[in-house]
Amino acid sequence: MSKTIAEVRELKPNRYIIIDDEPCKIVSITTSKPGKHGDAKARIEAFGIFDGQKRSVVYPVKHKVQVPIIDKRVAQVIAIMGDEVQLMDMETYETFTLPITGDIADMLEPGKEVQYISALGKRKIVPRGSSV
């Protein structure tokens, strides 16, 4: 699997975490002080990379969580077929099909190179230079 383990206190905004089996980008982390009845807690707010849903969880700061390994790669557009695009990875020469989302439709042309991310068996085309 493409994930590692980290403690909640090691996480920072703009890093990644797995919440509900979905890789998410952390937007904010707020911590509370340790109290009379327990350890300090951290509230993590994050957005899903692939589905865009906002997720929020609360964990003790010593809790271990899963962190996805995000792989950013370049692929060449082979063909556009309706609402899907066929791509070929420029490193492994693997071909695969991804759905076309509204914000990337204008940058897709056969023969053009695009950037995509891969994590936990899912893939998504992203604009070049974006911080996903």
Is residue 132 included in any domain, yes or no?
no
94 exposure class (CB count in 10 Å sphere: 0-12, 13-18, 19+): exposed
107 and 85 part of one domain? yes
Is residue 98 included in any domain, yes or no?
yes
Measured CA to CA in angstroms, residue 37 lies from 33, 77, 80, 116, 122 at distances of 11, 56, 58, 46, 41
Q: What is the pLDDT of residue 34?
A: 84
> CA angle 130-72-118, nearest 5°?
110
Residues 34-86 have pLDDT tens digits of 877 788 999 999 999 999 999 999 999 999 999 999 999 999 999 999 889 99
Residue 130 or residue 90, greater confidence: 90
Residues 101-119 have pLDDT tens digits of 877 888 888 999 999 999 9
48 and 60 part of one domain? yes
Cα Dmax for the chain: 62
50 and 23 part of one domain? yes
35 and 52 part of one domain? yes
- What type of residue is 53? Q
Domain interval for residue 86 = 71-125
CATH of residue 29: 2.30.30.30
62 and 79 part of one domain? no
- How many domains, the chain? 2
Tokens, residue 103: 């914000």
- What type of residue is 2? S
Q: What is the pLDDT of residue 132?
A: 67
pLDDT confidence of 131, banded at 50, 70, 90? Answer: low
Residues 72-102 have pLDDT tens digits of 999 999 999 988 999 999 999 999 999 988 7
CATH of residue 110: 2.40.50.140
63 and 7 part of one domain? yes
20 exposure class (CB count in 10 Å sphere: 0-12, 13-18, 19+): exposed
50 and 76 part of one domain? no
User: Is the Cβ–Cβ distance between 59 and 8 less than 8 Å?
Assistant: yes
